[in-house]
Amino acid sequence: MNLTIKAPGRIVLFGEHQDYLELPVIPAAVDLFMKIKGKKTNSDQYYINLPDIQDSQSFLATNTKYQHARDYLRSGVKVLQENEIIPSDKGISAVITSDIPMQVGLSSSSALCVIWIAFLAEVFNNPLNPMEITKFAHQSEVLEFNEPGGMQDHMAIAHGYINFEEFDPIRCTRLLTELPGLVVGNSLERKDTLNTLATIKNGVRKGLEFMETLKVRDLTIDEVQELEPIKGQLDEFTLNALKAAVTNFEITKQAHIELQKSAWDENYIGSLMNKHHASLRDYLGVSTPKIEKIIDVAMKAGALGCKITGSGNGGCMIALCPDHEDDVSKAIQRVGGQTHIAKVVSGVSRF
């Protein structure tokens, strides 16, 4: 009997480049989906068809030695076997399809890891809860390959909706189940996620380590400029990366406070998105001229706030534009972007 599971894409409203620093984030699961349909077989062979990318993979259940970087299908099997979630002598046959664009900041790779973990556990009659899926998917994507990302994407995709995610300790708290007026704008510029994440992560950590030597902690957004006196002791990129971490942390906290209100202010949330994007652009340099053009026309068409989503240097932006979704979408298309009027959705699930 076939089992069919779907997993959403994700956008980041607040907290870009924060999760791998164990700082909180506010992501959202949106209605772009990856789907898997498959079943157990009587053999010990794994066979996975990936028609969207004209590829397929097959391997023995006992052969989990990685064949290439980001070998996520094998890593998922290996991680679940090691944790005694699935057997090491049984295989499956499955087809994976997706309408989540790749390498544009909507977390297609994490969706693959989440859906694969959820499918394997359930098809072998050992279903996992969203937090268990989160941890095993993160292990199979990030820890197994020593990649620079955090747990944010896996948690957002596994849990769905809009949550306040924390990582020290790990917690996921629901904020909203809907957010009208979201438009995703794809610049169609491919990005290099791993190199961008690694570069920024190293810069921020270098800055934080330096601040520890000065016994400086818990800076707020109003105190960011006080970092200027140490400018001569840190290179410009490290100083800017540190400023971004402090600024974006404070913006995320402000957004969290507002979104907990029963009648939160969409104009204020939009303004915080604009501030967040400015920090990502000016301190981290992860925007591009095309994304800036897309944001400019989106704001003129009625958006309350816009920001890049994902690691940056290409990919997608998001606009908050209640009652102006069509106008914003058309404006983005006129300057060469693709758009999706997004709906907030639940996490990984059967369908």
Crossing angle of helices 108-123 and 72-82, rounded to 10° = 40
Q: Please tell me the pTM assigned to this model.
A: 0.91
Domains along the sequence of the chain with CATH: 3-177 (3.30.230.10)
Distance CA 22, CA 252 (A): 13
Give the confidence band of 87 by pLDDT, cuts at 50, 70, 90.
Answer: very high
Per-residue pLDDT tens over the stretch 254-309: 999 999 999 999 999 999 999 999 999 999 888 999 999 999 999 999 999 999 99
Q: How far from 108 is each of 72, 207, 224, CA to CA, in Å?
A: 12, 30, 34
Q: What is the mean pLDDT of the chain?
A: 90
Give the number of other Cβ atoms within 10 Å of residue 65's Cβ: 9
| Amino acid 215: pLDDT | 45
**Average pLDDT rounded to a whole number, residues 106-135:** 97
Q: Which of 89-103, 127-141, 184-198, 332-346 has the lowest mean pLDDT?
A: 184-198
Band (pLDDT 50/70/90 cuts) for residue 18 is confident
Q: Taking CA 22 as the corner, what is the angle to CA 247 and CA 149, rounded to the nearest 5 degrees?
A: 100
- Please state the rounded mean pLDDT for residues 217-225: 55
SS3 238: helix
Amino acid at 345: V
Residue 147 is predicted with a pLDDT of 85
- β-pairing, 26-40 vs 3-14, is antiparallel
Percent of all residues in the chain with a pLDDT value above 90, rounded to a whole number: 73
